[in-house]
Structures are given as structure tokens and as C-alpha cells.
Amino acid sequence: MKISKLLEEDKITLSFEVFPPKRAESFDAVKNASETIASFHPDFMSVTYGAGGSTAGFTAELAAELKKDTGVPVLPHLTCVGSSKEHVDHMVETYVNEQIDNIMVLRGDLPSDGIVEHDFEHASDLIAYIKEKTDLCIGGACYPEGHVESRNKNMDLKYLKAKVDAGCDFLTTQMFFDNNIFYNFLYRAREAGINVPILAGIMPITNAKQLARSVALSGTNVPERFRAIVDTFADHPAAMKQAGIVYASEQIIDLIANGVKHIHVYSMNKPDVAEGILNNLSEIIR
Ligand code: FAD
């Protein structure tokens, strides 16, 4: 099922993200965890694409098997980084043959030496290429706090509008820990003429290292309230996990209370985290 159709329905959607393994020997463990998450009946599941195309085969295989075995709609990711036109043609053909209707198109993070051999510079270039060739529903990324490389938020929005105009059917945000940043971004995006559905990306933080890593990569603001939680529970793994699930659940409840209908949870292959959030929302979402 096309995600764009799902998002047209008058209902709240909740989706989960998983990432594929780096090595074949871990495939079954990742697949089992993903299928457990799928058994909670999310509206769809996304499968990320390893940096530089390192997991191309596993992304496709995991997405195809998830769809076949669980019936949950899937959204495999693909990046410009590491992708020649021939590679994109091959991946797209694979998804069409597997009757997968959606693809998330990203630029990918640049390698540290900044040298990349690829045919597509920006996500919008790859989106336009795929749109011309196929009928896939295309998702793209957006950044409520601005992308780390962007000179300012207005430039970022200008390029985001170009990305949508290139054929992006919906957007998913990078994680944020302060909902007001998301509400402000939503207002500015609509003012800029960006009218596709925007899914709020929520990352449950279940350990302090995960927070440090995520923030270093993305530059996401950590509000004092959340920093105090992490500082207090960092050395107590079970308490940190519980607090992280509750914080993410509260963010989601506040989003829904403010009219946001589409939530994407970065569940990081952790069924217990996905389940914890769903339990906290059991009367709210279903
Ligand atoms: P773009 O849209 O190309 O933007 C990148 C930068 O270029 C921005 O600063 C933008 O303002 C600027 N820009 C855009 N167009 C132009 C233009 N025409 N001229 C000049 N500047 C321009 N990474 C992975 O490797 N694998 C994944 O599976 C993955 N999944 C993700 C999912 C989500 C929801 C998000 C938010 C991010 C994900 N990422 C993933 C990370 C993403 O690849 C990085 O954030 C990357 O640095 C930017 O990707 P993008 O698609 O937003 O790029």
C-alpha cells in the first residue's frame, strides 16, 4: 500500500523504523526483532540504508521479507551517496518486482573525506530521477532545527520546497526532543508552500551514549528537562530505558493533542521499546 494513501485517511498513524544488519550472520536476529515490531501492527515500517550504501542488499531483503511475512507496508530507504544510476535502477526494479510501493530517498551522510563518487548530488536529484521512472510513493527527510550543513533555516526550507516539488509525497522529520521546535517548523513549512504530510520523527532515548551519538550527528537541541532525566538515570540502565520510553510517549501524546496525526518512531530494532510506547498509548491511538 502506498503510504501517501494511508496518510490521506482520517486517522492517526504510527510507524516504526528498523535498520538492517551490517553482516549476514546478524540478518536473522534483525529480521526476528523487526517481525516482532511488525506484530504490533504499525501502519508501516521503514528500513534504513547503511552509510555509503553499505547495507544495500540487506535493506532490500529485509524490506521484502517483512512485507511478505507480515503484510505490513514497508518503506525501504535509498541514498545518493554510494548510488550510481545503474544501482538506483537495480534497487528500484527490485522494489517494483517485490510489489513494494514506497521508497524513502535521502542524500546520505557525506564520508569524512568528503569525496563521493555518485550520480546524484542532492536528495531532490534522486527523487526527480525515480519519479520520472516509476510510480513509487516517495518520502524525504526534513529538519525542524535546520540541517547541520545549512547556512540558515530559510535556505534549508527553500531546498526542502525544491525537494517536494521534485516529487516527494511526504516528509519525515529528524528526531526532536522539544515539540515546540516541531510546531514552529510546521508553521514555517506551510508558510513556505510545503503542503505534503509531515511525519513527526520521535526517537526514544534509552541510554546516555545513544543520546550523545545522536546529538553529535544531528545537532538536535536537548531541552533542560530531558537533560536532567538523562543525567539522573544515565547510570541506571533499566531506569533510563523506562524514562526514555515515557518521555517519547509524552512527546507523542502532546503531538496528538495538538492535532499532529502522523508519528514515526525510531525504534532501532528494539521490540520492547516499541511495545512500551504502544502500551503507554493503548487508549489514545487504538
Ligand atoms: P538533502 O535534501 O540533499 O539536503 C542535504 C543538504 O543540502 C541540506 O543542508 C540542504 O539544505 C542542502 N541542499 C539540498 N538541496 C540543495 C541544492 N539544490 N543546492 C544546495 N544545497 C542543497 N542516512 C542514511 O545514510 N541512511 C538512511 O537510511 C537515512 N535515513 C534517514 C531518515 C530520516 C527521516 C532522516 C531525517 C535522515 C536520514 N538519514 C539517513 C540521514 C540523511 O542522509 C542526512 O541527514 C543527510 O546529511 C541529508 O540527507 P537529505 O536527504 O536530507 O539531503
Sequence-separated (6 or more) residues with CB below 8 Å from residue 280? 245, 246, 249, 253
Q: Dig out the grid coordinates for 258 from the structure.
A: 495538538
Distance 141 CA to ligand 1 centre (A): 6
**Mean pLDDT value of segment 98-125:** 88
Give the count of beta carbons closer than 10 Å to the beta carbon of residue 5: 12
Predicted confidence (pLDDT) at residue 115 exceeds the cutoff of 70: no
Query: CA nearest 209: which of 180, 170, 174, 244?
Result: 244
Q: What is the pLDDT of residues 35-69, one digit of tens each?
A: 999 999 999 999 999 988 888 899 999 999 999 99
Q: Give residues (CB < 6 A) around ligand 1.
A: 48-49, 51, 77, 79, 106-109, 122-124, 141, 147, 149-150, 156, 159, 162-163, 172, 174, 201
Q: What is the pLDDT of residues 142-187, one digit of tens each?
A: 999 999 999 899 999 999 999 999 999 999 999 999 999 999 999 9
Closest residue to atom 43 of ligand 1, CA basis: 108
Q: What is the pLDDT of residues 205-249, one digit of tens each?
A: 999 999 999 999 889 999 999 999 999 999 999 999 999 999 999
pLDDT band (50, 70, 90) for residue 188: very high
Asked if 65 is an active-site residue, the reply is: no
Q: Which of 45, 105, 159 should be mutated for ligand 1, with most atoms under 8 A from CB?
A: 159
Predicted confidence (pLDDT) at residue 14 exceeds the cutoff of 70: yes
Q: At which residue does the C-alpha cell 512527546 appear?
A: 251
Distance 70 CA to ligand 1 centre (A): 30
Closest residue to atom 32 of ligand 1, CA basis: 141
Distance 208 CA to ligand 1 centre (A): 25
Query: Torsions phi, psi of 172, nearest 5?
Result: -120, 135
Which atom of ligand 1 lies nearest, measured to the CA of 52? 25
Q: Which of 17, 35, 61, 145 is catalytic?
A: 17
Cite the beta strand spans of the chain per DSSP E. Answer: 13-18, 45-47, 74-79, 102-106, 137-142, 170-173, 198-202, 262-265
Query: Torsions phi, psi of 138, nearest 5?
Result: -115, 130
- What is the spatial distance between Cα 11 and Cα 265, in angstroms, rounded to a whole number? 17
> How large is the C-alpha radius of gyration of the chain?
18
Closest residue to atom 47 of ligand 1, CA basis: 109
- What is the spatial distance between Cα 153 and Cα 8, in angstroms, rounded to a whole number? 28
Query: What's the confidence (pLDDT) of residue 114?
Result: 65
Q: Which of 74, 75, 80, 107 should be mutated for ligand 1, with most atoms under 8 A from CB?
A: 107
Query: What's the confidence (pLDDT) of residue 117?
Result: 65
Average pLDDT taken over every residue of the chain? 95
Helix (H, G, I), strand (E, B) or coil at 75: strand
> Would you give the end-to-end CA distance of the chain in angstroms?
20
- What is the spatial distance between Cα 180 and Cα 188, in angstroms, rounded to a whole number? 12
pLDDT band (50, 70, 90) for residue 112: confident
Distance 109 CA to ligand 1 centre (A): 7
Distance 79 CA to ligand 1 centre (A): 9
Q: What is the pLDDT of residues 116-143, one digit of tens each?
A: 667 999 999 999 999 999 999 999 999 9
- What is the spatial distance between Cα 20 and Cα 31, in angstroms, rounded to a whole number? 8
Q: At which residue does the C-alpha cell 500500500 appear?
A: 1
Q: Please answer whether residues 146 and 153 qualify as being in contact, where contact means their C-beta atoms are separated by less than 8 angstroms.
A: yes
Q: Dig out the grid coordinates for 127 from the structure.
A: 527523487
